[in-house]
Structure 1
Amino acid sequence: MKVACLQFNPQVGDFQGNVVKANTLLRDAEERGELQNLSWLLLPEMALTGYNFPNLAAITPFLEPTTAGPSTNWAREVAMRLKSHVTIGYPEIEPATSRRYNSTVTVSPTGEVLVNYRKSFLYYTDETWASEGPERFFRGQVNGLGEVAMGICMDINPHKFLAPWTAFEFANHCLQPTPVPLVAINMAWLTRLGPEEVAADPKGVDAETLAYWLERFYPLLKANADMPLTVIFANRCGTEGGVVYAGTSTVMRIEKGGSTKIFDILGQGEERLLLVDLKEPPKFAVTTGPPGQAPGQP
C-alpha cells in the first residue's frame, strides 16, 4: 500500500487560494510520476478552508453541507483522477439539524463517499463553533483500505484536557476489541516554536511534537500485537492568525514488542507531499520510554 500526506500552509478563509496551492503540489508530484499506484491521500484538518477561525460568525460562510460541499467535491475529483482514496478535513453543517462539526470525509477512487467522521474531542478553537461528534472516534472496514481507525488532531489528547492522562481514549479505541492495523490522524497541530525558529529550519523535525504524539500512542507500543500497526499523522504547517503549526507529518510502524520505526517524516515548515510505500522498509528507528505528563498542543 502506498500512502501520501499533503502537508502545506492553507490560509484561513482563502478557499480558492488553498485549492490552487494543493493542486499545484499534487500536479508537481504527478508530473514526477510519484502518484502512480497511490492507495490513500490524506490532507490536514480543515485543509481548504483554513483552521484558525476566531468565532462562529467568521466560519459560517465556509461551512459545507455534509459530504456535499466544495471540499468533498475537490476530494472526489482528485480521487478519481489519481484512482486513490482521499481523506480531507472540512467544517461541516448538517442540513437537517444545522449542527456544525469539524469533520473529515473519505472518498473512494470512484468518488463514492465512504466515511464522514466528526471530531470527538474539540480543541478550544473548535468549541467556538462546533459540536462534538455523536460517535466517539471511527473504526471500521473501509472498502479498498481494510480495517482503519481515524481521528482528528485533539482526539488523541485527554478529553478536554481534563480526563486522566493515562486514559488514552483514542489509543485504547485502536486496540478494542483487537489492534487495528491502520490508524490515520488528520491534524492542524500547533508547535511551541515561533515563526522565526521554524523559518530558520523548515526541514527540521519538531522533535517535541513527535515525542508527544508517540506518548499518546503508548498503549499501542505496549500491546505486543501480532501484526505491525501503521500510524499516519497528516499535519499542516505554516502560520495562521498568529499561531504556528508543527508540520512534521509522519508515517510510522509499531512492531511486535513495541519497537517503533518511521517510514518517513517531513520537516516542520515543508510544503510538499510525504510519500510512503508501506512495503518498503522504514528509514528510522525511534527510542520510546514510559509515558510522561508533558502538555500537548492539538
Structure 2
Amino acid sequence: MRIGCLQFAPQVGDVDNNLNRADSVLSKANPDDLDLLVLPELAFSGYNFKSLQHISPFLEHSGSGITSLWARTTALKYNCNVVVGYPEKVDVSDNWPTSPEYYNSAIVVNEDGETIANYRKTFLYYTDETWALEGQGFFDGPIPGVGNASMGICDPYRFEAPWHDFEFAFHVLECESNVVILSMAWMTREDGRMFSRMPNEPDLDTLTYWLTRLEPLIRAENGDEVIVIFCNRTGIEDDAVYAGTSAVVGIQDGEVKIYGLLGRGEKELLVVDTTNPPYAKLAHRPEPNRPSVLHGELQMMNPSPASSTPTGSGGSQSSQPKPSQQNNEARTPTDAKKSPGKPHSSANSSKDSVASRRVRPSPQIQIPPLQDSSSLDSPSLPTPTAPSPTPLSMRPRLIIPQSPSSQIWPSSSPVPQSTQSTHSVRSILSNQSVT
C-alpha cells in the first residue's frame, strides 16, 4: 500500500494561501499510484482559533465546502482516497428550533470523488472547546484499496483521563482494523525559535509519546501488522508551535517498524510503500542502572545498495529523544517490545503458549519515583517513553560566547609596532597646548 502524508504549515484564516501551499507541496512531489493521501487537522482553515466568532467565517458544510471540493479534485487527479480535516457546520434547519452545531471534522473521499465518511473529533482539546462539539465516537469502517480503517483526531481525552485507559488503542483492537489514520495539529511546548533550529530532525519525544498511547497494539499478539499513519502539521500560529514529525509505522509482534518519517519543520509529502522493508525500527532499551525506565531509540536497518530512504523522510534518524516529564511524573509503560515466540517442539508447551495468550494480563504502567533536582544535570539522564514537553530545567542550554571587549584593527598603512605611539592624538595635542 502506498501512503502519502502531506505535512505543511497552514496559517489561521488564510484559506486561499493554505490551499496553494498544499498544492505546491503536492506538485513538487508529483506522487504516483497513491492508495491513500492524508492531510492534517483543520488543514486549510488553520487551527489556533480563539472563539466561535473567530472561526465562523471559515466553517463549511460537509460535502459542499472548499475542503470537500479540494478533496474531490485531488482524489480524481491522483486516483486515490483522500482524508483531510476541516471545521464543519451542520445544517439543523430540519430540526428547528435547535442550536447550531459545529464540529472539528475530517472528510474521507474515495478515488471516484465520492464522500464515503465524515468523522467528527471526539476528544476535544481546549482550543476546540471554544467552538466545537464532541463527536459520538471514533470512526471505523472500510476504505476501498486500504482496508478496515480506524480514524481519530488527537488523543488522549483532554489529557485528563487515566493513562492506562488507552481509549483509542482499544477501539482499534476491538474493530480489528489493519489501518489507523490520525490527522492532527499536535503542538509542542518548546520555544518556537529553539524548536525550529533543526527542521529536518524529527521530534522523537513526540513520536514516542504517540506510540506509547498505542501500547495495547504493541502488546497484542494477533500476528497481523497494523499500519499507523500520524499526519501532523508544522509551523507556528501565534503562540502555538506544531511538532511536525509525520510518520508511517507498522506495529506487529511487539515491534514498531518505521516506514517513513519527516522532520519537525519539513514541508513535504511523505510517500511510503508498506510492501517495501522498513528503513528503521523503534527499539525500547532499559537503562542499565534503572531497569524500570525505558527509552526509545531509532535503529536503522541495513538497506541494500538499491534501496533508498522513503520520499520526504528527512533528518538523521539515529538521534535519541530527550528526557521529559508530564505533570512532574514520568509515566512509563511496560516493555513495549516483545520478541516473536519461537516454535516449540512439544505439544504441551504449545498449549501453555495458547493458554497464556487467552489469559493475557492487562497492561501495567510503572511510574518511577521523581528524580532529585541535583541529578538533573547528570549526563546519564534516563528518558521515559511517555514524554511530554521537556521542563526548562532539563533542556539543553545554549551558551553563546561573548565577543571580546576590544579589538585592534590594522590600519590601512601598516606602521612598525615599535614606532607606534601609545598616546592618542587628543592627548598629544593637550600636552602641546600646556607647553
Q: TM-score, normalised by structure 1?
A: 0.93
CA contact (8 A) 1:202 1:267 kept: yes
| Distance in 2 (alpha carbons) for counterparts of 1:67 and 1:126 | 21
CA contact (8 A) 1:66 1:95 kept: no
- Within the alignment, does 1:3 sit opposite 2:3 as a pair? yes
Question: Which shifted more, 160-169 or 68-77?
Answer: 160-169
Deviations 1:159-184 (A, max 9, x none): 2223211000000000005x321101
| Distance in 2 (alpha carbons) for counterparts of 1:43 and 1:161 | 23
- Within the alignment, does 1:24 sit opposite 2:24 as a pair? yes
1:168 maps to what in 2? 166
- Within the alignment, does 1:239 sit opposite 2:236 as a pair? yes
2:219 maps to what in 1? 222
| Distance in 2 (alpha carbons) for counterparts of 1:52 and 1:130 | 13
CA deviation after TM superposition for structure 1 residue 28, in Å = 1.1
CA contact (8 A) 2:106 2:118 kept: yes
- Within the alignment, does 1:145 sit opposite 2:146 as a pair? yes
- Within the alignment, does 1:88 sit opposite 2:84 as a pair? yes
* Structure 1 moving runs of 4+ over 3 Å: 292-297
Aligned positions of 1:256-275 closer than 5 A: 256=253, 258-275=254-271
CA contact (8 A) 2:192 2:236 kept: yes
User: Aligned pair count?
Assistant: 287
1:48 maps to what in 2? 44
1:196 maps to what in 2? 193
Deviations 1:220-239 (A, max 9, x none): 00011221111000000010
SS in 2 for 1:124: coil
| The one of 251, 256, 263 aligned to 1:254 | 251
CA contact (8 A) 1:67 1:116 kept: no
Any gaps of 5 or more consecutive residues in structure 1?
A: none
Deviations 1:242-280 (A, max 9, x none): 110000000001112x11110010000000010000111
1:128 maps to what in 2? 130
Distance of aligned partners of 1:267 and 1:295 in 2 relative to their CA distance in 1, 3 Å threshold: closer
2:422 maps to what in 1? none
SS in 1 for 2:11: coil
Distance of aligned partners of 1:255 and 1:176 in 2 relative to their CA distance in 1, 3 Å threshold: same
| Distance in 2 (alpha carbons) for counterparts of 1:228 and 1:57 | 44
- Within the alignment, does 1:207 sit opposite 2:208 as a pair? no
Q: Partner letter of residue 168 of structure 1? A: F
Any gaps of 5 or more consecutive residues in structure 2?
A: 94-99, 285-293, 295-331, 334-364, 368-385, 390-435
SS in 2 for 1:253: strand
SS in 1 for 2:174: coil
| Distance in 1 (alpha carbons) for counterparts of 2:177 and 2:223 | 11
Percent of residue pairs bearing the same amino acid type:
45
SS in 2 for 1:64: coil
CA deviation after TM superposition for structure 1 residue 151, in Å = 0.4
Q: Partner letter of residue 148 of structure 2? A: E
SS in 1 for 2:264: coil
Q: Partner letter of residue 56 of structure 1? A: L
CA deviation after TM superposition for structure 1 residue 198, in Å = 2.7
CA contact (8 A) 2:52 2:130 kept: yes
Q: Partner letter of residue 150 of structure 2? A: A
2:14 maps to what in 1? 14
| Distance in 2 (alpha carbons) for counterparts of 1:68 and 1:266 | 32
Q: TM-score, normalised by structure 2?
A: 0.64
SS in 1 for 2:169: helix
Distance of aligned partners of 1:296 and 1:123 in 2 relative to their CA distance in 1, 3 Å threshold: farther
CA contact (8 A) 2:259 2:278 kept: yes
| Distance in 1 (alpha carbons) for counterparts of 2:40 and 2:64 | 19
SS in 2 for 1:174: helix
> Greater relative contact order: 1 or 2 (C-alpha under 8 angstroms, separation 6 or more)?
1
